[in-house]
Amino acid sequence: MIKEDILKTGHLPAHVAIIMDGNGRWAKQQGLERVYGHKKGVDTVKKIVEASGEIGLKYLTLYTFSIENWNRPKAEIEALMGLMVDAIIRETDDLMRQNVRVVAIGNLNDLPEVVRVKLNGLMAQTAGNSGVTLVLALSYGARWEICEAARRIAEDYKNGILQDLESVDDDKFASYLTTNGIPDPDLLIRTSGECRLSNFLLWQCAYTEFYFIEKFWPDFEKDDLYLAIRNFQKRERRFGMTGEQIQK
């Protein structure tokens, strides 16, 4: 019913970004090790990617592994990397069947070689798909991304590739970000009840609508995505203008 309601409205966000939070706490509540929460979280990813395709979302970005996550216990990091490889191998056929295109953003050079190889293979295999674009933020941090963009601009100016620093406006700067070619998120969802961005898409979320939900990520269902989108559809996005200007 919720799915039909949001489709009937006809005003879908083009890009939904999700901070998938609460895997470890979910596992703790079940009396399990944290890795079991991450395994359950992978199942949720599968459901939400499928739901995104069913309603016709164009872009879905998932905060999969942050730069700060490298500070977690070594055993947990190794388990997460292993889950990533397993998920790529296991889900490739379904992603192809669902016409999903996979891209990745972040400092991918920091990923273990086996993860990079599998990820590059998945991106190459799905490159021609025309359904939802699934953007995986891996070893990603917004401050790193912005600093990296500034360094690249400085290098291009030094090397004469960029002729005039006065030409560096919002659009030019955005072209140096890892999200170049990807529209800014219309809606950002964060699970687990936390109400912060955690160094995620700081530049891109300047005018994004935020939606916070108490559920941990492993408990997040398709209907939760639909409810978030229905909430988005009821909002008035003014982008610095007045409501009267928007209605004209």
Please return the burial class of 235, using the count of CB atoms within 10 Å of its CB with bins 0-12, 13-18 and 19+: exposed
Kindly indicate the confidence band of residue 159, based on its pLDDT and cuts at 50, 70 and 90: very high
* Helices 222-233 & 2-9 angle (0-180, nearest 10): 30
Q: Are 101 and 70 in contact (CB under 8 A)?
A: no
pLDDT at residue 247, as a whole number: 60
Tens digits of residue pLDDT in 16-73 = 999 999 999 999 999 999 999 999 999 999 999 999 999 999 999 999 999 999 999 9
Q: Choose among 138, 99, 132: nearest CA to 120.
A: 138
Kindly indicate the confidence band of residue 106, based on its pLDDT and cuts at 50, 70 and 90: very high
Q: DSSP secondary-structure letter at 135?
A: E
User: What token pair was written down for 32?
Assistant: 């399990």
What are the catalytic residues?
21, 69
pLDDT at residue 10, as a whole number: 77
pLDDT at residue 246, as a whole number: 55
Dihedral sign from CA coordinates of 188, 51, 116, 84? positive
Angle at 77 between CA 139 and CA 199, to 5 degrees: 35
pLDDT at residue 26, as a whole number: 97
The answer on pLDDT for 123 being more than 70 is yes
Tens digits of residue pLDDT in 234-244 = 998 766 655 56
